[in-house]
Amino acid sequence: MAVITGVEVIDVRFPTSRTADGSDAMNVDADYSAAYVELRTDAADATGAPLGGYGLTFTIGRGTDLVVEAARQQAQRLVGRDIDDLAADMGALYRDLSGDSQMRWLGPEKGVVHLSLAAVLNATWDLVARRAGKPLWRLLADYTPEQLVDVADLRYLSDALTREEAIEILRAQQPGKAERIAHLERDGYPVYTTSAGWLGYDDAKLRRLCQEAVDAGYGHVKLKVGANLDDDVRRLTVARDVIGPDRRLMIDANQVWDVPQAIAWTRALARFDPLWIEEPTSPDDVLGHAAVRRAVAPVGVATGEHCHNRVMFKQLFQAEAIDFCQLDTGRLASINEILAVLLLAQKFDVPVCPHAGGVGLCEMVQHVSVLDYVAVSGSLADRVTEYVDHLHEHFTDPCVVADTGAGTGYVLPHRPGYSTQMHPESVARFRFPDGAFWVDDGAISAQSPARPAVA
């Protein structure tokens, strides 16, 4: 018997706003942060080291403390639970943690309490995979179709996807699993880079980073747009000039437009042949995305990093609102809800290209994309997963992106878990507000809850 003996949830913030990393038209000063959950147990892993579970959700500064406190309250319910009992029925655990009706009122299934649930469940899935001695993608790929559907949250989806249909989708991909895994072992999972195109970078830095992306073998590059149309035209001209006509270019507006403006602006940039316009408007606007998509074709529409739950994705699919599904591993409630979205996407034939970047998202999405290919969709067509080259040095099992000869891709992760354990030194240094970085820096006020009032 192995039991969860304790939980700690930590507010970790990195000062990324100082270099304009992560800057876009909506988020001008993001300090990449995490509500980081550590589960402790009385067990050891195969190497004899203490067995733990490590998970997070991604935030961008102020308010991370709110998510931390919510996760602390939710995770308390894990203390004293038998790990193997949990592992045997992760669907029951999901329903237990998400079913607290008093906490549910604060969403439901959205906002702070859903982000925190993601962090807690991500840590639990990490623990369960470590206990099994497998990387999470492998643990899940080894499940039967019925076992996978048992952990998926299909509530509110039956008008679009029944349990029986979900099982059929998974059964159809049972043949060929081993071949697909071998393919990924050889070629990796296709990625694109956003590292070049943050809005706060000047043209010289943009040009240099685009060239570096080309040199590194990337076939796709993404740029932020939406603050100023003339600037966008100039920056896209630079990018196209460097990457040439054949590599794919994506643009991302981070929700700054109303629907009519999104249509006009995207049309004005269409001559740069973007593969997709990402987050053209409010992430809640299913019908708005559908209207944009109808108006800007053949430019595709992509969204999902702020799509707060499976019910919203269901509608994006039903309304034929998107060409690419960019689910987020810190915003959806972990594997349980992600599985539901992967299944819906397969039913509606929309490729899943997960959102990543931030802190730890790349570490997680590699597992999700691999699972999608191996067990759910069986396809790499039109799939390309985001990669941003920031902050991986803080993780004990960082994702690896390499040019495999078949293009640049995520190298298949092999170590047990969900790849989301941070180095204890990183956590100690960047925990907010008492980590050494923030104390030494003396810059707490810039991050403190009370922004200076506008004069």
- Residue 85, interface with a copy of itself (CB under 8 A)? no
CA atoms in the 13 A half-sphere facing the CB of 427: 20
Q: What is the DSSP letter of 196?
A: E
Q: Least distance from C-beta 110 to a copy of itself, angstroms?
A: 5
Place of tokens 């991370």: 64
- Residue 315, interface with a copy of itself (CB under 8 A)? yes
- Residue 396, interface with a copy of itself (CB under 8 A)? no
Residue from 5, 18, 50, 76 in contact with a copy of itself (CB under 8 A): 76
Query: Nearer to a copy of itself by C-beta: 9 or 136?
Result: 9
- Residue 62, interface with a copy of itself (CB under 8 A)? yes
Tokens of 238: 């630079």
Of 430-449, which residues contact a copy of itself (CB under 8 A)?
449
- Residue 111, interface with a copy of itself (CB under 8 A)? yes
Of the candidate spans 203-211, 307-315, 382-390, 404-412, the one that interacts with a copy of itself by CB under 8 A turns out to be 307-315
Concerning whether 289 is annotated as a catalytic residue, the answer is no
Encoded one letter per residue, x for contact with a copy of itself by CB under 8 A and - for no contact, window 22-51 reads: ----xxxxxx--------------------
19 phi and psi, to 5 degrees? Answer: -115, 10
- Residue 113, interface with a copy of itself (CB under 8 A)? yes
Residue 252 neighbours by CB under 8 Å, 6+ apart: 24, 194, 197, 222, 223, 224, 225, 226, 277, 278, 279
- Residue 112, interface with a copy of itself (CB under 8 A)? yes
Rounded distance between C-alpha atoms, residue 415 and residue 49, angstroms: 14
Sheet strands (E) in 132-218: 189-197
- Residue 88, interface with a copy of itself (CB under 8 A)? no
Tokens of 372: 């999608």
Residue from 286, 299, 353, 380 in contact with a copy of itself (CB under 8 A): 286
Residue from 40, 73, 89, 398 in contact with a copy of itself (CB under 8 A): 73
Task: Tell which residue, 330, 397, 333, has the closest CA to residue 363.
Answer: 397
Query: Nearer to a copy of itself by C-beta: 162 or 211?
Result: 162
Residue from 70, 140, 141, 344 in contact with a copy of itself (CB under 8 A): 70
Query: Nearer to a copy of itself by C-beta: 76 or 237?
Result: 76
Judge contact between 11 and 431, C-beta under 8 A: yes
Q: Least distance from C-beta 374 to a copy of itself, angstroms?
A: 29
- Residue 343, interface with a copy of itself (CB under 8 A)? no
Specify whether the backbone of 17 is left (phi greater than 0), alpha (psi in -120 to 50) or beta. alpha
Encoded one letter per residue, x for contact with a copy of itself by CB under 8 A and - for no contact, window 132-171 reads: -----------------------xxxxx------------
Query: Nearer to a copy of itself by C-beta: 144 or 448?
Result: 448
- Residue 2, interface with a copy of itself (CB under 8 A)? no
Amino acid making up residue 105? W
Rounded distance between C-alpha atoms, residue 96 and residue 408, angstroms: 40
Taking each helix axis from N to C end, the angle separating 286-296 and 259-269, rounded to the nearest 10 degrees, works out to 30
Amino acid making up residue 298? P
Q: Least distance from C-beta 85 to a copy of itself, angstroms?
A: 11
Query: Strands across the sheet with 4-13, in order?
Result: 4-13, 33-44, 50-59
Catalytic position from the list 114, 308, 355, 367: 355
Query: Nearer to a copy of itself by C-beta: 140 or 350?
Result: 350
- Residue 255, interface with a copy of itself (CB under 8 A)? yes
CB-count exposure of residue 271 (10 Å: 0-12, 13-18, 19+): exposed
Rounded distance between C-alpha atoms, residue 393 and residue 415, angstroms: 16
Q: What is the DSSP letter of 396?
A: S
Residue from 12, 115, 140, 239 in contact with a copy of itself (CB under 8 A): 115
Judge contact between 427 and 10, C-beta under 8 A: yes
Judge contact between 333 and 309, C-beta under 8 A: yes
Rounded distance between C-alpha atoms, residue 219 and residue 217, angstroms: 6
- Residue 59, interface with a copy of itself (CB under 8 A)? yes
Residue from 5, 19, 46, 80 in contact with a copy of itself (CB under 8 A): 80
- Residue 253, interface with a copy of itself (CB under 8 A)? no
Task: Give the Cα-Cα-Cα angle 400, 404, 408 (nearest 5 degrees).
Answer: 65
Q: What is the DSSP letter of 449?
A: S
Catalytic position from the list 224, 306, 392, 394: 224
Query: Nearer to a copy of itself by C-beta: 74 or 385?
Result: 74
Of the candidate spans 79-87, 181-189, 376-384, 434-442, the one that interacts with a copy of itself by CB under 8 A turns out to be 79-87
Concerning whether 355 is annotated as a catalytic residue, the answer is yes
Rounded distance between C-alpha atoms, residue 327 and residue 353, angstroms: 7
Distance between terminal CA atoms of the chain?
60
Q: Least distance from C-beta 93 to a copy of itself, angstroms?
A: 9
Q: Which residues are catalytically annotated?
A: 224, 355
